[in-house]
A and B are shown apart, each in its own frame.
Chain A
């Protein structure tokens, strides 16, 4: 194991991360980490490859739909596919995910319907999936707030006495938030079965990670009493191994763990952002050399698993998902004006009903009818 003891390291130091597959697709000898994924076959690896390709396709299609005026906004995850797939595929169905807004790859792997997922970004609904249906909470827009929810949920797991775990996703920028630090204090105090999964994508909108963290982000966790690992976030196998390590600790009563997956946001922060205004294009080029999908593809080709047929099938799957997504977005009916009252309370509420009826009468007043608009009361 290679948990941090607070030793000072340059946060930009690419080499100080644990790997199982190098950027050029070569396996790395790291027995301790590899032990957590010893059972993963090459065919299962190919499934992870497919996940990543499909997720990248979802991302491309959603970005295009935003440019075509069909989505209001989209937060691209280009480059972070391995960090999301490797971690989410380590979970059990009964574990619960508390994501930020960028974990759409995680949601896809948990079984979220891609068309429903887009409804949030079209501005049609507050949640694109039933959180209890796939055990993934509603995407959290407030930076870092979901870490508190995850710790609370994990404390509940302890009270229930089960061996489930909670995992929360957040970025390097969120680590500067009070919420994240408070969540870590509570998690350690109550030894909650929670995994803090930080995708360090190097940019908090336009703020480079080096400004926020003068030591690796993973090195902060031991100060809270939380063991941590720093893994290559573009290495899907290393991410999966680290997540399994953390989940195992949680399930056996070992309390919280912290993973820093060092990755890179290759796109803009959102479709409303222009990274060329603040980012060195050479940096992007460097990270393109460490692409998460390419390295796994190279490894699988070398091992004869990713044949031409398999690659074509993966591409066809990705295109099919993209078509489903596009059709779902374009054909989705807008919610009616009265739908806003639907989920204010779980049970009927007289005050809300009154407001809804009044609003319905008001809307009806735009028509030819004359029965209501003569009076304001």
Chain B
């Protein structure tokens, strides 16, 4: 008799584990409780003892694979008499007597291996439950709450769980079934009637496919998600905001654009911000550092590889300009244009994405004023530059229409204290407000 062994939940509520190594091979004779494998869960590395006396007939999952709880991982041939032995109680034999519950329910139950986590959601449908309407509380029969009749149009068709299950089993979309029960309730007969009627609904698995689009998580989206999660839950983020009058800075850019040296270049507020950041980082190098937890060290860079967040057709990328601290405004401007073109064309090289030390995200191009950017993983700071707007602002003791911009700086609070973040932010703002400040601060 062949017996498969399914991966149990080795912790409390774990859904998967990684097979690290098998201690047995196909053909090996094993005894009850002999260690057969080493498995790593999210909580611990544990040894798996054999549940049977027998011979290994198949190893169903290779080392290095992550296996869902409940999946068969190894099979044994049991001697016929050992099946009646201590470990021989088959899974089916443990099925309970369930009184009045029908055989159908019984047959659909997950094998009764104790300690398995929640049954994997086979339909992918989110668990939804309508909040009980407030009025229902005064109902004389409050045990089963009745949703009020004036529910929003998007409400799921009214029916009972057994009927919903029947519909799902038959592949009937409840939304297409007219309910004939009390207050429009869809009954078992209604579902069976629709199923019997020719070609009313295609027998596709029910779901919300009509109103939802499911896209596999992969590629840049998956990478971005992992990077965001890694950053957001590793580095304690703090964000500071500063709104600054950049009228003079914009006038300075206008003057440069008119000069012959810059005629062929695209000068934008981002160019000025990039240069300002390089100057400011030299004064506050904490923002240009990296947390090396493995070696228990803080690495402070004497160079700036300036990352620029770019929205590309493939998704968000943060390529960086190597050694940006060595560049003057002209060189930076050229590098920024090139970087943006390369990213939009989808030709950004992996080396351009690696090794960044500080990043800027220009949310202003989307018409946004401020935000709380998430750090590019491994970096200590990121500056979000808002839109430059003409708005009433205090100027020389009076209210004038000025060009105003908000800067948002997020930083890793493990590496950077509030005062250091504030200094970098005020330095950048000072240079953008009055580019001559670069002379004073550099």
Contact = CB atoms under 8 A, between A and B. Distances in A.
Interface of A: 60-61, 64, 66-73, 122-124, 268, 270-274, 276-277, 323, 326-327, 330-338, 354-355, 358, 360, 362-368, 370, 373-377
B160 A272 contact: no
Nearest to A369: B102
B96 interface: yes
A73 to B, nearest CB: 6
B51 A68 contact: yes
B116 interface: yes
B8 interface: yes
A333 B97 contact: yes
Contacts of B134: none
- List the 9 closest pairs (A to B, CB-CB), nearest first: A69-B8, A274-B44, A367-B102, A365-B162, A330-B89, A334-B96, A272-B11, A72-B115, A68-B51
23 contacts: A64-B33, A66-B10, A67-B47, A68-B51, A69-B51, A69-B115, A71-B114, A72-B114, A122-B114, A123-B115, A272-B44, A276-B45, A330-B94, A333-B95, A334-B94, A334-B96, A336-B99, A358-B144, A360-B100, A364-B101, A368-B102, A373-B188, A375-B185
Interface residues of B, number: 52
B181 A374 contact: yes
Nearest to A370: B188
B114 A70 contact: yes
A331 B102 contact: no
A362 B89 CA distance: 32
Given A363-B101, A374-B188, 8 more contacts: A61-B33, A67-B47, A273-B44, A323-B86, A327-B86, A333-B96, A366-B101, A373-B187
B46 interface: yes
Given A69-B6, A331-B94, A336-B97, A362 B47 contact: no
Contacts of A68: 5, 8, 48-49, 51
Nearest to B50: A68
Given A64-B33, A376-B146, A366 B87 contact: no
B96 A336 contact: yes
Contacts of A375: 181-182, 185
Nearest to A124: B114
Contacts of A332: 94
B113 interface: yes
B181 A358 contact: no
Contacts of B101: 336-337, 363-364, 366
B181 A362 contact: no
Contacts of A370: 188-189
A376 B96 contact: no
Contacts of B102: 363-364, 366-368
Contacts of A360: 100
Contacts of A64: 33, 49
A365 B163 CA distance: 8
B43 A274 contact: yes
Interface string B8-37: 111110000000000000000000010000
B43 A272 contact: yes
Interface in B89-113: 89, 93-102, 104-105, 112-113
Contact of B96 (A71, A270, A335, A363): A335
Interface string B156-177: 0000111101000000000000
A60 B96 CA distance: 27
Contact of B46 (A67, A358, A373, A377): A67
A60 B6 CA distance: 21
Contact of A374 (B9, B104, B144, B182): B182
Interface in B58-99: 86-87, 89, 93-99
Contacts of B98: 336-337
Nearest to B47: A67
B97 A67 contact: no
Contacts of B187: 373-374
Nearest to B162: A365
B141 interface: yes
A75 to B, nearest CB: 12
A366 B162 contact: yes
Interface string B139-164: 00101101000000000000011110
Given A69-B114, A334-B96, A363 B49 contact: no
B399 to A, nearest CB: 60
A298 to B, nearest CB: 27
A330 B86 CA distance: 8
